[in-house]
């Protein structure tokens, strides 16, 4: 349930209303927009008579929310959320960012890759220090040494670092080391213990859609994080598993506008994992930009044929240069169209 308040409502009156609602055993989520104040009521809303609530002087109207995700719901928070990723980089609400780097950290070649993607216009550095792999015998990442290399590159280039976390026991390590954005991968999209643990921090979370997850399941995963107090969530469409075999996954480009309609959270698209092949990454990156994505996550490797993981979908630095030029062209057209 949400209560939309009148513009004339004073801070004192809003405070009294919140106290009254919370006295009924519910929690509140307050969103202050330019034109209205919205109070979201979370909990057993049968304890509140909506007609009584609507009869109060400062209440414009009361609206029931049928979706189970409340904090991630745009009805609770009409304005776009802007997530501060550190180093002066923000995403959402008109702030567009490109996250680029190798699938996994393999050594000091990461520094050279980071320099190239930064020079091309990427604003955030990605790389896996801890890697979830289908086979237990595949490369699992460098662990803490990989984190050190990522943070060294991020510090040199003044770029936020995005890296995947797999285990709730590692959250303290990531926070202590100063990782800027913790990524929850597709395989952990419903690892509820992990979602809750990152939710107890204030570190931004890049949350990927599960391998066969629905849009609602992605939003409910975000709800797990936000319900613990961390509102700094970035949603990521990375393709879903279907019957199609010509690409690694099926890139659900519909999800970008759908998520923007349902939620106030920033939406990033990952054309690398979605397609699985270098030749498809650029066109789908451009398509995601045109669909309104707030950012892109793209894999780049200096020698993809020798990459220790996912080389088939990585762009070379030269290919990334060209892709960034075309991304800027698409975004320029979109900006012109909105004027």
pLDDT digits (tens, 9 = 90+) for 222-280: 999 999 999 999 999 999 999 999 999 999 999 999 999 999 999 999 999 999 999 99
Is the same domain home to 128 and 41? no
- How many Å apart are CA 319 and CA 112, to the nearest integer? 15
Long-range pairs, 10-14, Cβ under 8 A, ≥24: 10/58, 13/57, 13/58, 14/39, 14/58
Name the 3-class secondary structure at 216.
helix
> DSSP per residue over 278-295, as a string?
HHHHHHHHHHHHHTT-SE
**CATH code, 213:** 3.20.20.70
Closest CA to 206 of 124, 151, 299, 150: 124
148 is a domain residue: yes
- How many Å apart are CA 149 and CA 113, to the nearest integer? 12
Question: By percentage, how much of the chain surpasses pLDDT 70?
Answer: 99
Question: Domain containing 9: what range?
Answer: 2-63
Number of domains in the chain: 2
334 is a domain residue: yes
Query: Among 46-60, 242-256, 277-291, which is the least confidently predicted range?
Result: 46-60
Q: How far apart are the first and last CA of the chain?
A: 36
232 is a domain residue: yes
Is the same domain home to 113 and 208? yes
Is the same domain home to 176 and 254? yes
The 10s digit of each residue's pLDDT in 67-110 is 889 999 999 899 999 999 999 999 999 999 999 999 999 999 99
68 is a domain residue: no
74 is a domain residue: no
Residues 6+ apart with CB under 8 A from 86: 160, 180, 181, 204
State the average pLDDT for the chain: 94
Is residue 64 over pLDDT 90? no
State pTM to two decimals: 0.89
69 is a domain residue: no
Is the same domain home to 230 and 270? yes
The 10s digit of each residue's pLDDT in 295-338 is 999 999 999 999 988 899 999 999 999 999 999 999 999 886 65
Q: Is 176 exposed, middle or buried (0-12, 13-18, 19+ CB in 10 A)?
A: exposed
- How many Å apart are CA 48 and CA 63, to the nearest integer? 12
Q: pLDDT at position 338, please?
A: 57
Is residue 179 over pLDDT 90? yes
- How many Å apart are CA 58 and CA 4, to the nearest integer? 9
* Two structure tokens written together for 222: 């975000």
- How many Å apart are CA 339 and CA 321, to the nearest integer? 28
Reported as a pLDDT band with limits 50, 70 and 90, residue 339 is low
Is the same domain home to 96 and 48? no
Name the 3-class secondary structure at 112.
helix
Is the same domain home to 103 and 223? yes
Is the same domain home to 52 and 141? no
Starting at the edge strand found earlier in the chain, the sheet holding 2-5 runs 27-32, 37-42, 2-5, 59-63
């Amino acid at each position: 349930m949400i209560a939309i308040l009148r513009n004339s409502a004073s801070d004192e009156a809003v405070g009294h209303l919140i106290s009254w609602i919370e006295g009924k055993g519910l929690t509140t989520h307050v969103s202050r927009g330019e034109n209205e104040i919205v109070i979201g009521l979370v909990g057993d809303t049968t304890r509140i008579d909506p007609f009584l609530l609507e009869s109060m002087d400062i209440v414009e109207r009361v609206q029931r929310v049928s979706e189970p995700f409340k904090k991630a719901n745009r009805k609770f928070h009409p304005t776009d959320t802007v997530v501060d990723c550190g180093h002066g980089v923000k995403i959402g609400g008109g702030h567009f960012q490109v996250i680029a780097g190798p699938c996994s950290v393999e050594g000091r070649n990461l520094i050279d890759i980071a320099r190239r993607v930064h020079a091309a216009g990427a604003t955030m550095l990605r790389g896996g220090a801890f890697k979830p792999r289908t086979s237990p015998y595949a490369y699992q990442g460098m662990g803490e040494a990989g984190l050190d290399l990522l943070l060294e590159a991020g510090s040199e280039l003044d770029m936020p670092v995005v890296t995947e976390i797999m285990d709730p026991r590692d959250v303290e390590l990531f926070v202590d080391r100063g990782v800027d954005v913790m990524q929850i991968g597709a395989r952990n999209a419903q690892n509820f213990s992990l979602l809750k643990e990152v939710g107890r921090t204030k570190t931004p979370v890049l949350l990927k859609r599960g391998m066969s997850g629905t849009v609602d399941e992605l939003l409910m995963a975000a709800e797990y994080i936000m319900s613990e107090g961390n509102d700094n969530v970035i949603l990521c469409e990375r393709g879903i598993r279907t019957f199609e075999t010509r690409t690694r996954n099926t890139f659900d480009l519909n999800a970008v506008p759908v998520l923007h309609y349902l939620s106030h959270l920033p939406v990033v698209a990952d054309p690398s994992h979605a397609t699985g092949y270098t030749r498809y990454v650029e066109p789908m990156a451009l398509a995601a930009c045109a669909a309104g994505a707030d950012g892109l996550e793209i894999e780049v490797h200096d020698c993809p044929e020798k990459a220790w993981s996912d080389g088939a979908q990585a762009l070379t630095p030269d290919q990334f240069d060209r892709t960034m030029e075309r991304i800027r062209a698409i975004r320029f057209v979109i900006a012109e169209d909105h004027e």
